[in-house]
A = this chain, B = another copy of it.
Amino acid sequence: MKKKDQAPHQTLVDRQPLTGSRKIYVPGTLHDIRVAMREIVLTDTERKFDFVNPTEVNAPVTVYDTSGPYTDPNIEIDLKKGLPRLRESWILDRGDVERLPGSTSDYGQQRAADASLDHLRFEHIAAPLRARTGANVSQMHYAKKGLITPEMEYIAIRENQRFDELPADDPLRSQHRGHSFGANTPKGHITAEFVRQEVAAGRAVIPCNINHPESEPMIIGRNFLVKINTNIGNSAVTSSIEEEVDKAVWSCRWGGDTLMDLSTGKNIHETREWIIRNCPVPVGTVPIYQALEKVNGKAEDLTWELFRDTLIEQAEQGVDYFTIHAGVLLRYVPMTAKRVTGIVSRGGSIMAKWCLAHHQESFLYTHFEEICEIMKAYDVAFSLGDGLRPGSIADANDEAQFAELETLGELTKIAWKHDVQVMIEGPGHVPMHLIKENMDKQLKECHEAPFYTLGPLTTDIAPGYDHITSAIGAAMIGWFGTAMLCYVTPKEHLGLPNKQDVKDGVIAYKIAAHAADLAKGHPGAQYRDNALSKARFEFRWEDQFNLALDPDTAREYHDETLPAEGAKVAHFCSMCGPHFCSMKITQEVRDYAAKQDLTASQVLAHGLAEKSREFVNKGSEIYL
């Protein structure tokens, strides 16, 4: 079943823009940057009963775009060379890095010297960068010094999605009051200075290793758009480098904000190089997985020296954040013995085994400050792993889980002392009524460092559908304040995801993240809902498809019952048929009301004043 590894083919990845969309670039003002976004071009509204203004122009909708250069037809893509190195000049211009002669990790050097790997090695490996002696190249360090980096300005512009440029009276700007979007949040406009403040305070993280200049800057923090992470990676049983690169580009196409390479099989080092060089979003790893491979799967044989070498190996390849399970303490391990599902985190179980075998605290905990020294030399962010997260509803919010969380809070303080960026990983399997406790406790114990949760799954009984069981929990915890949601695919608990599973997972999590943004009252979130619903109500089918998270599937489902082109401009749909459509009837209600000469004062008399202000619909016949 295991396919033979080979270097990816050039023709592998999807290049066309999403249907109806085009890439645009918004320039910076502080820095010489161009921020990539996706613009969805809309058709006009035709008002057949309005002889004065028969056509209403619908402005294009700009949305956050994670797909990278792949969807810009003007950019040449060569997987063998990797993506354009967007951030390289920004990094070099800061003057605080040095170019190394090659990997300084023993393992990295061994792999580079191994001729048997030539056929699958990425060809154009650049010599790695590292902070000059004594320098700290983390975005948190710059932020604390008051510097607004190009990365920060890029993020501010990106988060705004040009929403801040819309006229204040644009009817599609109307939105419900969000009730929990942080008091620190600027209403309606994210500034670069606000980004800097959030990073300096530790409330947000910008994962951007100086050796991953290909990635487009993004931010993870609860006062910004909720982000999603996708996991890919081969295992000893299945998958190839080529498939993983394909899945990486694919997951970005559909909206993955960061990507974790969780490979545990052969050629992890080479697979990672291919992924990072071709990945426009930050890449995270769990370095202990590779370290374990190096000791042939024997957890007790792991050593600090081996782990340290692995961190350097990966940092010099450009990994943007490391999941490190430093909170699994010896005394916490017995707390899991009576659980229904024990320890389900791979990293957590490795470290638990090590702790028991050695009768001492793990090297992750005892060498934590040395790890910080490595992190700040490359700007790798911590993702402090929840090695004792619950693997079942029964084990949710138990003593082991919360004990570890407290330790993660202590470690956060240590990392911040080094100006190293930190986010905190969270569960797992949690019934709905126990979700908020997780968020509240995380904010308190971890001093508002961003929370990054897997789901949580709200029931255990639906293997095959855990993208749904977990999207429920993810939407809720995102609303409560989680900054990034780690996706779950339909294959969770059953197998490794294929390309379709990756897409299904991404879309489910884009839904959860967006639902959370809406509930939080993010100032730009509801605009897209309003635009899509207006298109739906006006039977602008193509616009409805193109504004959807997945235009292809929306179009395909529609065409299953009404495939003719004419049906896409028809004022009815397959659900009700041509003579029986609620939207058509509603239009008749409006027309009727207009004919009755219902005046504005009559509307006001019906208590509509507030609604009228909220939802001014320029095209409504009543007011023409």
Contact = CB atoms under 8 A, between A and B. Distances in A.
B463 A431 contact: no
Contacts of A490: 557
Contact of A530 (B342, B392, B399): B392
Interface in A337-356: 337-346, 348-350, 352-353, 356
A561 to B, nearest CB: 4
A405 interface: no
Contacts of A395: 615
Contacts of A528: 461
A86 B110 CA distance: 75
B399 A479 contact: no
A78 to B, nearest CB: 32
Nearest to A501: B557
Interface stretch (A15-23, A367-375, A416-424, A586-594): A586-594
A225 B514 CA distance: 30
A236 interface: yes
A463 B593 contact: no
Given A582-B345, A589-B352, A554 B399 contact: no
A183 interface: no
Given A393-B530, A459-B529, A529-B460, A342 B495 contact: no
Interface string A424-468: 000001011110000000000000000000000011111111011
B557 A491 contact: yes
B593 A334 contact: yes
Given A460-B533, A472-B472, A602-B334, A590 B515 contact: no
Contact of A398 (B357, B467, B611): B611
A43 interface: no
B176 A434 contact: yes
A4 interface: no
Contact of A299 (B356, B460, B583, B585): B585
A335 B556 CA distance: 35
B463 A548 contact: yes
Question: What 4 A-B pairs have minimum CB-CB distances, sorted nearest first?
Answer: A236-B577, A392-B533, A342-B586, A432-B519
Given A176-B397, A341-B537, A349-B585, 17 more contacts: A237-B562, A297-B580, A299-B585, A334-B593, A334-B603, A335-B608, A339-B617, A340-B615, A352-B589, A356-B589, A394-B526, A431-B515, A433-B521, A459-B514, A472-B475, A495-B558, A496-B561
